[in-house]
């Protein structure tokens, strides 16, 4: 795979007024816009093409991308802008003509520091999800992994202790996308799980999502690799 696709279209409502002027993927984290760390990770991992799925404040995402790409010779960046909020799966469907047959998909508000190249589609799988064991998994959906297949996706449970959580990085076969689906989390992933075509692999490494103020604050202390 040479193409990395970043989901960067959400409003980020859980961050409140922080996203009124600055979209969630551009919130400052450890001295840089959060998306800058994702650019560096993708480039350092050998990906040569980035596709940004933008929506809310797309003009800010585009301005950032045009400037940031200059730091990475050989890296190309393009935007697909939603005409209206389409959801995670809807944004992918809208950009389908830009997508390679197989590509890496990354949440624009999640940092999971492992070897992205090590996430691969197994035989018969249409998507593979990077999983991480979280000792305090009460605010996350969790996955049951049997061999290399995810056999169940379980909703958030305030009583849950540890579990395997979705790390926000996926290897995707473009044929996994289905007409009419708007949500990866609520529609696409459960469908593929039922069909036995959702693979999973556990990785270690620093993980955080910046979707709530507490985790955005905690992310400031992470050590990000140099660009």
How do 32-33 and 28-29 pair as beta strands? Answer: antiparallel
Residues 171-195 have pLDDT tens digits of 999 999 998 999 999 999 999 999 9
Residues 34-57 have pLDDT tens digits of 999 999 999 999 999 999 999 999
Q: Map out the domains of the chain as residue ranges.
A: 3-219
- The answer to whether the CB of 148 falls within 8 A of the CB of 200 is yes
User: What pLDDT was estimated at residue 161?
Assistant: 84
Residues 57-78 have pLDDT tens digits of 999 999 999 999 999 999 999 9
User: What pLDDT was estimated at residue 53?
Assistant: 98
Q: What are phi and psi of 40, to 5 degrees?
A: -65, -40
Percent of the chain scoring above 90 in pLDDT: 81
User: What pLDDT was estimated at residue 140?
Assistant: 86
How do 32-33 and 127-134 pair as beta strands? Answer: unpaired
> Taking the CB of residue 162, how many other CB atoms lie within 10 A of it?
12
User: What pLDDT was estimated at residue 86?
Assistant: 95
- Superfamily, domain 3-219: Spore Coat Polysaccharide Biosynthesis Protein SpsA; Chain A (3.90.550.10)
Instruction: Flag whether pLDDT at 227 surpasses 60.
Output: no
How open is the CA angle 167-96-91, to the nearest 5 degrees? 55
Instruction: Flag whether pLDDT at 88 surpasses 90.
Output: yes
Instruction: Flag whether pLDDT at 169 surpasses 90.
Output: yes
Task: Report the distance separating Cα 46 and Cα 3, nearest Å.
Answer: 9
Instruction: Flag whether pLDDT at 226 surpasses 80.
Output: no
Task: Give the mean model confidence (pLDDT) for residues 199-222.
Answer: 92
Residues 91-142 have pLDDT tens digits of 999 999 999 999 999 999 999 999 999 999 989 999 999 999 999 888 888 9
Task: Give the mean model confidence (pLDDT) for residues 143-157.
Answer: 94
User: What pLDDT was estimated at residue 158?
Assistant: 85
Instruction: Flag whether pLDDT at 25 surpasses 90.
Output: yes
Instruction: Flag whether pLDDT at 82 surpasses 60.
Output: yes
**Sequence-separated (6 or more) residues with CB below 8 Å from residue 225:** 40, 41, 44, 113
User: What pLDDT was estimated at residue 15?
Assistant: 83
Q: Which residue has the higher pLDDT, 175 or 11?
A: 175
Kindly report the pTM of this predicted structure. 0.95
Confidence band for 14, pLDDT divided at 50, 70 and 90: confident
User: What pLDDT was estimated at residue 108?
Assistant: 96
N- to C-terminal Cα separation, the chain: 21
């Amino acid at each position: 795979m040479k193409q990395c696709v970043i989901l960067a279209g959400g409003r980020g409502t859980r961050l409140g007024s922080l996203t009124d002027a600055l979209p969630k993927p551009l919130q400052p984290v450890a001295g840089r816009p959060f998306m800058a760390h994702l650019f560096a990770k993708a480039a350092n991992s050998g990906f040569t093409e980035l596709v940004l799925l933008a929506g809310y404040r797309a003009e800010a995402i585009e301005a950032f991308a045009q400037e940031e790409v200059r730091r990475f010779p050989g890296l190309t960046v393009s935007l697909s802008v939603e005409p209206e909020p389409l959801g995670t799966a809807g944004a992918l469907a809208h950009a389908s003509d830009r997508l390679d047959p197989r590509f890496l998909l990354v949440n624009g508000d999640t940092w999971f520091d492992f070897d992205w190249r090590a996430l691969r589609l197994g035989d018969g799988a249409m998507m593979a999800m990077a999983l991480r064991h979280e000792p305090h998994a009460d605010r996350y959906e969790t996955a049951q992994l049997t061999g290399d297949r995810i056999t169940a996706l379980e909703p958030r449970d305030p009583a849950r202790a540890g579990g395997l959580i979705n790390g926000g990085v996926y290897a995707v076969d473009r044929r996994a996308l289905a007409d009419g689906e708007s949500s990866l989390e609520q529609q696409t992933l459960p469908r593929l799980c039922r069909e036995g075509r959702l693979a999973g692999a556990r990785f270690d490494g620093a993980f955080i999502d910046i979707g709530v103020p507490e985790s955005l604050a905690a992310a400031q202390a992470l050590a990000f690799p140099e660009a």
